[in-house]
Amino acid sequence: MSLAEPFEGHSPSACPACVAAPSAQRIAALQEEKRGRIMLSLPTAHCAACMSTVENGLQAVPGVHSARVNLTLRRVSVDAEAKVTAESLIPVLAGLGYEAHELDAGLLSATETDKQGRDLLMRLAVAGFAMMNVMLLSVAVWSGATDATRDLFHWISAAIALPTVVFAGQPFFKSAWASLRVGRLGMDVPISLAILLASSISLFETIYSGHHAYFDAAVMLTFFLLAGRYLDHRTRAVARSAAEELAALEVPRALRVEDGVETLVSISALQRGDLVRVRPGGRMPVDGTVVEGTSEVDRSLLTGESLPAFVGPDTSVAAGEVNLTGPLLVRVTAAGRDSSLHRMADLVAVAESAKNRYTSLAERAARAYSPLVHLLSFSAFGFWMWQTGGDLRFAINISAAVLIITCPCALGLAVPAVVTAASGKLFRKGLLIKDGTALERLAEVDTVVFDKTGTLTMGMPAVNDFESLPHAARGVALGLAAASSHPLAQALVKAGTALGVPPANLTDLAEVAGYGITGNWQGQTVRLGRAEWIGAPPLAATATYLAVGEARYALSFTDSLRPGAEAAIAALKAQGLTVHLLSGDHATAVSAIADQLEIPSWQAGVLPAEKAGFVADLQAAGRKVLMVGDGLNDTAALAAAHVSISPASSLDAARTASDIVLLGKDMSPIADALRISRQSTARIRENFGLSAAYNVIAVPLALVGLATPLIAALAMSLSSITVSLNALRIK
């Protein structure tokens, strides 16, 4: 509807209140416009060519107004007409060679305007501006400006530095005050004290035309520490926004049926006794019993079973299962908090409460450091008060110099610089660090536990013995399979097409939901489907069965491995880690995968609680466990492990419980992650060593009263630059 002509022609507002109508229409139209914005996550985009391909490819889709890739966040925002949906754009991107996931634009808008980050950047810019100007004046003083000139320069420096410190130092003052109020001595207390003491001492010296003013130190301190704070914030903000993106992947809606009318409602609106329609390919939104329809469901995310299970009227289904073949009408028995999905979450809560809170390297450093610095500074003050017989000005000057020099410029940068460099590197490899300490924990890992279905395997079956079928039967199988969208049938079609088998000419094709496909071939009935329906003895593995006249054939399937799985396992073993495989699936399926990947230690048919128990036992035995899993049945184990990784395709709960998310399909980055994490921990330790070394040299000078603002400035900037450069050495 056009907004330009609200008063003429077919305008519906032929009413007295029509004057108000245009604005109402405009508001509605604006909301419509917002709804037309689609956000897609693009985990594999990485270069200029990617941006052109994606943007041009999407703009060629009818109805799309514009598309813009954000390479930093790996997402594309599409401005399109309401009829264009994310589901229709994902295949377009897949055709261009890019994996894409839908994101909830509503959820994302909150993270897009990163207010806190912009605020920090603003303060950082002010501190940088002040630092450069004050340094300019300070250099003049250090190189010999005297008397009136020096005083003038000090006054100008004060005029620049004092407002800067008040404005830019606020994040430190606030957090120091917060930690003091609860009676703790955080890293921000010595920082704030040093900044405030440096500024006030310098102001005092300026007023009494003293020789040394530390304005440059106060501003420089603020600048370097803000830089560390900003890096830290950015790492966390990127992780948080991406984690929220992933949370937005599952759009929690269900089709409620009332009096034969289907309406799309949010899951929270569902109640016990409601009827819900679940289409083939859809995920069960609730726990319930089937009222109408037969189908097969994929329970792999809940139990790890790779074999689809049959469901018909009066069978119960659980939230999270995927409906495969026929439409189902389900009566809700438990929704929301009561559903089995949420009961699994309780298991996670138990596992998480049992887990020790990890103390990061930075926290440990701060704990040792803060009291030491205060002690040094105060004892220097006390000593010089006694030595000089009560020269307050001199003693305060010394204790301020001690605080300024020991102030953890390098310490403030040591961790954020390394973590930023490492997580940036891992992000480019397709790994998202959700938790700041995850890298440090990952570096300690000595045991890796894998889940099978959906983690080591894609959850996409591939047929094993297609070539064992007689030639005629191959064509029949292919012809029948082509009529179904069941994953096993699709796998058959893929295998047949790859072999170049022509599909047989079948008539009367019909899919019997939950059982299989039937048809007519040269006058005889042919069927492809479940063992009991065909009348064939069932195999222990994932299989489908074919009946041609009296003959019965079995076709078994194995799950295809995730790309990079073999390389990842081999690399982990080469790094000397113990690898275990735990799965809820049948022994045959698990042993096949274990053999293929050469994992000697495996267990099949493991229940969720047993998985968590296995991990907890390993931990209790002193092992540091990395758990890699995707299903709900892994969630408790993911939470119990020292550190955990889950693929982006896994369920919401599993991703929430894990520390690192694998964004792409490829599994090989896991081995890189371990290597990089060990490197980054080593760099962090080196950085602590470096900043300690600077202190060892500069602190004695400060204690005996030989420190000048020049020495403080040199120590500060040199140590900050060294730790930043050291952080960049991560390969």
Partner 1 sequence: MEILAYLIPASLFLGGVGLAAFFWALKSKQFEDPQGDANRILKTDYDDRPKP
Show which residues are catalytic.
451
Does residue 219 interact with partner 1 by CB under 8 A?
Answer: no
Beta pairing, strands 625-628 & 643-647: parallel
Does residue 47 interact with partner 1 by CB under 8 A?
Answer: yes
For the CB of residue 407, give the shortest distance to partner 1 in the complex, in Å. Answer: 25
Q: Which is nearer to partner 1, 19 or 152 (by Cβ)?
A: 152
Exposure of 181 by Cβ count < 10 A (0-12 exposed, 13-18 middle, 19+ buried)?
exposed
Does residue 121 interact with partner 1 by CB under 8 A?
Answer: yes
Binders of partner 1: how many residues, by CB under 8 A?
Answer: 25
Taking CB under 8 A as the criterion, which residues in 100-119 touch partner 1? Answer: 118
> Nearest-5° angle of CA 585, CA 591, CA 594?
105
Window 394-423: contact mask with partner 1 (x via CB under 8 A): ------------------------------
Q: Decide: 137 and 151 in contact? Cβ < 8 Å.
A: no
Does residue 237 interact with partner 1 by CB under 8 A?
Answer: no
Does residue 278 interact with partner 1 by CB under 8 A?
Answer: no
Please select the residue that binds partner 1; options are 11, 13, 25, 133, rule is CB under 8 A.
133
For the CB of residue 69, give the shortest distance to partner 1 in the complex, in Å. Answer: 6
CB count in 10 Å sphere of residue 541 = 17
Does residue 129 interact with partner 1 by CB under 8 A?
Answer: yes
Exposure of 67 by Cβ count < 10 A (0-12 exposed, 13-18 middle, 19+ buried)?
buried
Q: Which is nearer to partner 1, 163 or 371 (by Cβ)?
A: 163
Does residue 125 interact with partner 1 by CB under 8 A?
Answer: yes
For the CB of residue 104, give the shortest distance to partner 1 in the complex, in Å. Answer: 19
Instruction: Report in angstroms the alpha-carbon separations of 153 from 127, 133, 223, 711.
Output: 18, 11, 21, 19
DSSP 8-state class, residue 545: E
Does residue 70 interact with partner 1 by CB under 8 A?
Answer: yes
Please select the residue that binds partner 1; options are 20, 31, 34, 52, rule is CB under 8 A.
52
Q: Decide: 420 and 727 in contact? Cβ < 8 Å.
A: yes
- β partners of residue 139: none
Edge-to-edge, what's the strand order for the sheet holding 287-292? 261-266, 253-258, 275-278, 328-334, 287-292, 316-317
Residue burial 585-610, b: 16+ Cβ < 10 Å; e: rest: bbeebbebbbeebebeebbbebebeb
Does residue 176 interact with partner 1 by CB under 8 A?
Answer: no
Q: At what angle do helices 361-387 and 392-406 cross, to 10 degrees?
A: 160
Does residue 60 interact with partner 1 by CB under 8 A?
Answer: no
Does residue 122 interact with partner 1 by CB under 8 A?
Answer: yes
Does residue 609 interact with partner 1 by CB under 8 A?
Answer: no
Q: Which is nearer to partner 1, 164 or 649 (by Cβ)?
A: 164
For the CB of residue 50, give the shortest distance to partner 1 in the complex, in Å. Answer: 8
Does residue 56 interact with partner 1 by CB under 8 A?
Answer: yes
Q: Which is nearer to partner 1, 51 or 189 (by Cβ)?
A: 51
- What the block records as the tokens of 201 is 């001492």
Helix (H) / strand (E) element for 473: namely: helix 471-481
Q: Which is nearer to partner 1, 43 or 320 (by Cβ)?
A: 43
Does residue 143 interact with partner 1 by CB under 8 A?
Answer: no
Stretch that binds partner 1, among 71-79, 456-464, 546-554, 704-712 (CB under 8 A): 71-79
For the CB of residue 77, give the shortest distance to partner 1 in the complex, in Å. Answer: 11
Q: Decide: 567 and 596 in contact? Cβ < 8 Å.
A: no
User: What is the four-CA torsion angle of 618, 650, 568, 573, rounded to 10 degrees?
Assistant: 10
DSSP 8-state class, residue 319: T
Note the residues at the interface with partner 1 (CB under 8 A). Answer: 47-49, 51-52, 56, 69-73, 118, 121-122, 125-126, 129, 132-133, 136-137, 149, 152, 156, 160
